[in-house]
């Protein structure tokens, strides 16, 4: 069976001539693998990107507030580092999604748009609320706890809510969402310093772990 | 069962590739003509001819958004097309199973 001849020959009568069952099975397998590798968003790469951003970003903030007396909050250079990491992660995410989703339209496109809108709107609302809280005279430690935990909370809620949007329940997204909610709630109890460490190690570590777990879950 | 009984609209290398590629997308999704061409590796003319055949059988739908240079043609598998591919896969499996020699030591 000449597979390439089959793919480039002009269609007409007798076009299946020479295509045996074994050859057809090979073509199906190759087409399935190619479509799978090119049209699927490389989630492990996304998990590694965001896991590292959380680990380094929150980790740097934790180190900058460690031992502060009185508590003043993360230093400006670490906030700038976190902002730059966030920007880099957004660019990488857009690139990874674009590789797979280019040319794909329909329901998935709408779902991706809603997912992005939910995250963007959630974080915009959080930023405005954080400014309002600071303006209301709330203490630095409380601002730090809110500032660290609230982004995890927002992301966790969006992940949980969108895990059931597709035809099949997305277990990875659900598990990750619930984990982020647990990290946000649990970390807040540790106080303004510990919450950064919890978000860095448990939040970032959890997302990094997903990079290993997700491909196995998908294959099983 | 013989190879002649396999769906002739699908049992052609290029159309088989098209059907399997479109079936890898979730229900409700479509693929642009240019991305499909990139994945299948056909010339535009050949791809159009194969798509027409599949559209005539009701296995796919094509939709054009906009016109001129910026126009985008999208291709999607229909429910009937997905069922036809499932039937084709089952028939192919049956054919391969019946053709495979019995395992060593198996009584016939």
Query: What residues of A are in contact with residue B12 (Cβ under 8 Å)?
Result: 6, 11, 15-16, 19
Confidence of residue A128 (pLDDT cuts 50, 70, 90): very high
Q: How confident is the model at residue A17 (pLDDT cuts 50, 70, 90)?
A: low
* Residue A21 confidence (pLDDT): 86
Percent of residues, chain A, with pLDDT higher than 70: 90
- C-alpha distances in Å from residue B15, one per residue of A3, A105, B47, B65, B72: 12, 21, 9, 24, 21
pLDDT at res. A170: 84
Contact A25 B92 (CB under 8 A): yes
Chain A residues with CB under 8 Å of B76 CB are: 106
Q: CB within 8 A of A102, min separation 6: which ones?
A: B35
CA A190 and chain centroid, separation:
25
Which residues of A fall within a CB distance of 8 Å from B29? 104-109
Measure the CA dihedral A71/A76/A78/A81, to 10°: 160
In sequence order, which residues have a C-beta less than 8 Å from that of residue A89 and are 6 or more positions away? A49, A50, A53
Whether B46 sits inside 8 A of A10 (CB atoms) is yes
Residue entry with tokens 């069952």: A21
Percent of chain A with pLDDT over 90: 68
Average pLDDT rounded to a whole number, residues A116-142: 92
Q: Which residues of chain B have pLDDT under 50?
A: 108
* Tokens 């060593």 found at: B104
B27 contacts in chain A (CB < 8 Å): 107, 167
Using an 8 Å CB-CB cutoff, list chain B residues near A107: 26-29
State the smallest CA–CA distance between residue A28 and chain B in angstroms: 6
Whether B91 has its CB under 8 Å from any CB of chain A: the answer is no
pLDDT tens digits, one per residue of A141-172: 999 999 999 999 999 998 898 888 766 788 88
pLDDT digits (tens, 9 = 90+) for A158-217: 889 888 876 678 888 899 999 999 999 999 998 999 999 999 999 999 999 999 988 887
Mean pLDDT computed over every residue of chain A? 88
Q: What is the pLDDT of residue A166?
A: 67
| ipTM (interface predicted TM) | 0.85
Cβ pair A39:B32 closer than 8 A: no
A103–chain B nearest CA distance, Å: 5
Q: What is d(CA A113, CA A111) in angstroms, rounded to the nearest whole number?
A: 5
The number of C-beta contacts closer than 8 angstroms across A and B is 112
Alpha helices in B1-108 (DSSP H): 13-23, 33-40, 44-56, 79-99
**Is B14 an interface residue toward A (CB < 8 Å)?**
yes
Rounded to an integer, the average pLDDT of A46-71 is 94
């Amino acid at each position: 069976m000449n597979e390439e001849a089959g793919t480039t020959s002009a269609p007409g009568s007798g076009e299946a001539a020479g295509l045996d069952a074994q050859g057809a099975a090979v073509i199906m397998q190759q087409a399935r693998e190619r479509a799978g590798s090119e049209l699927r968003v490389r989630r492990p790469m996304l998990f590694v990107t965001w896991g590292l951003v959380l680990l380094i970003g929150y980790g740097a903030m934790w180190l900058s507030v460690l031992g502060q007396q009185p508590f003043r909050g993360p230093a400006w250079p670490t906030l700038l580092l976190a902002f730059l990491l966030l920007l880099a992660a957004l660019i990488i995410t857009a690139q990874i999604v674009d590789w797979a989703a280019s040319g794909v339209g329909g329901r998935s496109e709408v779902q991706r748009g809603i997912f992005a809108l939910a995250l963007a709107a959630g974080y915009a609302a959080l930023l405005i609320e954080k400014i309002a809280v600071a303006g209301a005279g709330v203490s630095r430690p409380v601002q730090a706890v809110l500032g660290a935990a609230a982004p995890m909370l927002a992301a966790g809620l969006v992940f949980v809510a969108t895990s059931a949007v597709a035809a099949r329940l997305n277990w990875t997204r659900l598990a990750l969402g619930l984990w982020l909610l647990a990290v946000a709630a649990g970390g807040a109890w540790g106080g303004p310093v510990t919450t950064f460490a919890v978000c860095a190690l448990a939040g970032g570590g959890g997302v990094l772990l997903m990079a290993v777990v997700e491909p196995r879950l998908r294959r099983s | 069962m013989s190879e002649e009984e396999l769906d002739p609209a699908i049992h052609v290398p290029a159309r088989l590739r098209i059907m399997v590629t479109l079936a890898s997308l979730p229900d409700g999704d479509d693929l642009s003509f240019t991305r499909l061409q990139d994945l299948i590796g056909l010339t535009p003319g050949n791809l159009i001819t194969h798509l027409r055949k599949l559209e005539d059988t009701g296995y796919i739908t094509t939709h054009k958004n906009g016109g001129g240079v910026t126009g985008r043609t999208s291709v999607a598998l229909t429910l009937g097309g997905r069922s036809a591919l499932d039937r084709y896969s089952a028939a192919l499996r049956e054919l391969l199973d019946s053709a495979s020699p019995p395992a060593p030591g198996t009584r016939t």
